[in-house]
Amino acid sequence: MTKKNLNFDFSAKNVVVTGGARGIGLQIVRQFLESGAMVSIWEFSAESLEVAKAELSSFGAKVHFQQVDVSKFASVEAAASALPFAVDILVNNAGITRDKSLAKMTVEDFESVIDTNLNGVFYCTKALLPKFADSPNKRIISISSVVALYGNFGQTNYVAAKAGVIGMTKTWARELSRKGFTANAVAPGFTMTPMVEAMPADARKAVEDKIPAGRWGRPSDIANACLFLASDEASYISGTVISVDGALVV
């Protein structure tokens, strides 16, 4: 069942969403667009960008597409220079996984996840900082994970990166608050995406049984948290981590 989006008005706002062409990122983009925002999607996969262009065609010039490798600062700088607008809201969502136990994880497995999931958040925020609009309501929202709060087997690289995102978020909240910024993180729990939907039903049920709320999260649950943190109603919330996980971690 599709639920109605929260009734926020972002008609005067410009948003950048990294990793915005699929999964949770695409839902975040869609809900910002439906709330009136202008959105730039930064995405590594050219194929995913083309699919997103078709899915979001009804929004016309309100959506901008840019192929970006967030793990490379030069690519991020070029994308920042090509932006057609000043930024009000940045959502650092791009991420990858290379899950293996510590004994089997290679240095390349570790570095590739750190490069995208941690360095990428730093690169995008650093490059876009001077591109933000001159306003008292600037927003930096970074997608972390509940595993950053409690660890997870086989995810040394992912947990390290997502925990680092929380640390950077708290630091930016302190550094940038007097310049009109809030900086917050959203920590999703188990969320139903197309990749998860492809899992065997019994495997999905086994995960669901661990969630106190009794269901998987929806991409819209994560997007709703992002829209709230981006809104004027959240202007006094900064340096926090909102877990969207159905009470998985309490």
Q: Where are the domains of the chain?
A: 14-244
pLDDT of residue 199: 65
- Residue 107's contacts (CB-CB under 8 Å, 6 or more residues apart) are none
**Which residue shows structure tokens 């708290």?**
170
pLDDT of residue 190: 83
pLDDT of residue 178: 96
Closest CA to 226 of 40, 21, 89: 89
* 236 part of the active site: no
Burial call 157-168: b when 16+ CB within 10 Å, e when fewer: bbbbbbbbbbeb
pLDDT of residue 194: 73
pLDDT of residue 4: 55
Catalytic residue among 123, 150, 158, 236: 158
Kind plus residue range of the DSSP H or E element containing 124: helix 120-128
- Residue 191's contacts (CB-CB under 8 Å, 6 or more residues apart) are 24, 216, 217, 218, 219, 221, 222
Strands 63-67 and 38-43, by their bridges, are parallel
For residues 67 and 44, the answer to whether their CB atoms sit within 8 Å is: yes
pLDDT of residue 158: 95
pLDDT of residue 1: 43
Q: Is the pTM of this model over 0.85?
A: yes
For residues 140 and 192, the answer to whether their CB atoms sit within 8 Å is: no
**Which residue shows structure tokens 């917050």?**
184
Per-residue pLDDT of the chain (250 residues; tens, 9 = 90+): 455 555 799 999 999 999 999 999 999 999 999 999 999 999 999 999 999 999 999 999 999 999 999 999 999 999 999 999 999 999 999 999 999 999 999 999 999 999 999 999 999 999 999 999 999 999 999 999 999 999 989 999 999 999 999 999 999 999 999 999 999 999 998 887 776 676 678 877 887 888 878 787 899 999 999 999 999 999 999 999 999 988 777 7
Q: Does domain 14-244 have CATH number 3.40.50.720?
A: yes
- Helices 107-114 and 156-176: crossing angle in degrees, nearest 10, is 30
